[in-house]
Structure 1
Amino acid sequence: MALPDLLTIAVTGANSGIGLRAAQRLAADGHRVLALCRDPHRGRTALETINAGAAHRAVLVVTDLSDPASIDAAAEKISGEVGHLDVLINNAAVFDQTMRTPAFTPSGHELFWATNHLGPFQLTARLSPLLAAAPRPRVVNVASKGLLTMPRITIRFDRLDDPGWYSPTRAYYHAKLAQIMTTYALALRAGGALDVACVRVPAVRLDADRVAALPWILRALYAPKNRLAIPAERLGETYAALATRTSTWREHTVPAAADRSALRGIYLDADLRPVDAPAFAYDAAARERLWAVSQQATGNPSWAW
């Protein structure tokens, strides 16, 4: 079944970086974009940029993924705007390397874990009825190529919000592993009713305003890496191509396989080629445990699948 010409697509973190470029491209191609942004001022500025070339005006939805109440309010607003949702791109994430000590949300969760994992988990659950109402729904999550440097990384189930092991790098990649595992779990739970993908994003060139906001020492250290990083526009094209593709992850699997071949096609590189995840992501019991603790931490939301 072919995709409709006009898709309704929600993009988190649409105010900068890859999310902004993906929203621009999708809106310019004629799709209806819901731009989910934490900061209202930056969101309105991004909306002007997106709508400058949009065929259908994008809509701003203020959403703080570290705040469960904000997520619920965003889901309610989206439900009032549209009757179905074709694609959800969970792009937003926090990776502030200046945060040398952990911060915690009012709910008691470490900020990276709350924003980069629990928030997308809750948002996807809350939007799942709208996704289920679409003819060919798709959820896109985002991980990081940096996980290649951590092949033995695991989920610290007994220390999820423990500040004792915190560093911004550890916390970031820990949550990104959880994103891969959640994507696998969602694919198996939804069966053929939902297409899913998780993109392995490489180092991306920061926008000039984000570089300018860094402390001078970090700006100096980051400059060489930033010059070599991939432009956000390139990854925006990746997101857009994935959001509108007519194929699904199942075309890459070996259906009868009992190993990782049964999940091949879900975790993709920037060129949308299937790649292997860290070994722990293939542990079925660990995925189920992660799903259970994520459900509990987000108030046991209902799912459409």
Structure 2
Amino acid sequence: MLSIAITGANSGIGLRAARTLAAAGHHVLALCRDLDRGRAALAEINAHAAHPATLVQADLSSPDSIEAAADQLTRTAGHLDVLVNNAAVFDQTLREPRFTADGHELFWATNHLGPFLLTARLSPLLAAAARPRVINVASKGLLSMPRIRIRFDQLDDPSWFTPTRAYYHAKLAQIMTTMTLAERAEKAEKEEKAERAQKGAGRLEVACVRVPAVRLDAGRVAAMPWLLRTLYAPKNRMAVPAERLGDTYARLATGDGPLPGPYVDEDLRPVRAPAFAYDEPARERLWAASQAATGNPAWAW
């Protein structure tokens, strides 16, 4: 039985993955922002779970909430086998950017800084596992933006905001963070191989999934403004069912072999990332900027 934490486990792909993994006998830690929605999801997950899942409140736009969730998991879990950073915000109705209490633009805070901080805080639990894995999530929509770059001097600048730009900007950051974390883990494994082997700890594996357009849950579609709902309906009918992507997450989390690459599609085939993701100095700069923005958390790697 693996211990698997999934953010955004109350709906969409996260919920489907949580259901599949719990039914397969794994202990699912369902991290959800809204407790009421989380409790409803927990009941659905546990309806067929071999072992009851655990609900953990975590708002990825809030460092305090992330710290509280990490503290809860540290107190109750001896190790963590897999972390799936699934939760994200993509509110296409926003016309103006929103900012967190810490002054960060909401999409950047939730879709990049939050997963970055959560992974850092949970890294000691992951490092204690025999085969730890971190799974991040990007989007196939990045294919339409081959020249996208990280706006290092405008990370929280409202002047360039649109929901689409902000969303894909953060998803590029997730790909780059995945690559950097994989490199850090490899370096740490080489430097500490004997010590880690003695402790029974395994080398961290990291992958980022290029998720295609996913069919939205009926509740999310119903919550859209009428015009947006009408325009989105044809795309939603053609989109990939969330259940299929939930299976992708589950395969990445529990597969016996090594992960197929730092960036994979929904069928677990290695794919090319946007060109900017391969810029090593840019990745280092992003890591440093993310560290500074999240309070310089300690990492196990």
- Pairing 1:216–2:211 present: no
Deviation at 1:138, TM superposition (A): 0.1
For residues 130-169 of structure 1, the aligned pairs below 5 Å read: 130-169=125-164
Q: Which of 59, 76, 82 is the equivalent residue of 2:77?
A: 82
Is residue 7 from structure 1 mapped to residue 6 from structure 2 by the alignment?
no
Instruction: Tell me the distance in 2 between the aligned counterparts of 1:64 and 1:85.
Output: 19
| Residue matched to 2:236 | 226
> Normalized against structure 1, the TM-score is what?
0.93
Can you list the C-alpha shifts for 1:241-268, whole angstroms capped at 9, x where unaligned? 010012224xx6xxxxxxxxxxxx1100
Residue 283 of structure 1 corresponds to 279
C-alpha distance in 2 between matches for 1:81 and 1:240: 23
What CA distance in whole angstroms lies between the structure 2 residues aligned with 1:70 and 1:207? 26
TM-score under structure 2 normalisation? Answer: 0.94
What residue is the counterpart of 2:50 in the other structure?
A: 55
1:292 to 288, 293, 296: 288
Q: How far apart in 2 are the matches of 1:151 and 1:240? A: 29
Aligned counterpart, 1:94: 89
Superposed counterparts of 1:127-206, under 5 Å: 127-191=122-186, 192=189, 193-206=203-216
Q: How much does 1:115 deviate?
A: 0.1
Aligned to 2:11: 16
Question: Offset of 1:169 from its aligned partner?
Answer: 0.0
**Residue 109 of structure 2: aligned partner:** 114
**Structure 1 gap ranges (5+):** 1-5, 253-264
User: Structure 1 CA distance, aligned partners of 2:256 and 2:176?
Assistant: 24
How much has 1:100 moved relative to structure 2? 1.2
Identity %: 75
- Structure 2 unpaired stretches of 5+: 190-202
Match of residue 28 from structure 2:
33
Distance in 1 between the 2:147 and 2:68 partners?
38
Report the secondary structure of 2:244's partner residue: helix
Match of 1:274 in 2: 270
Taking the aligned partners of 1:102 and 1:80, their CA distance within structure 2 comes to: 36
Q: Separation in 1 of the partners of 2:205 and 2:257?
A: 9
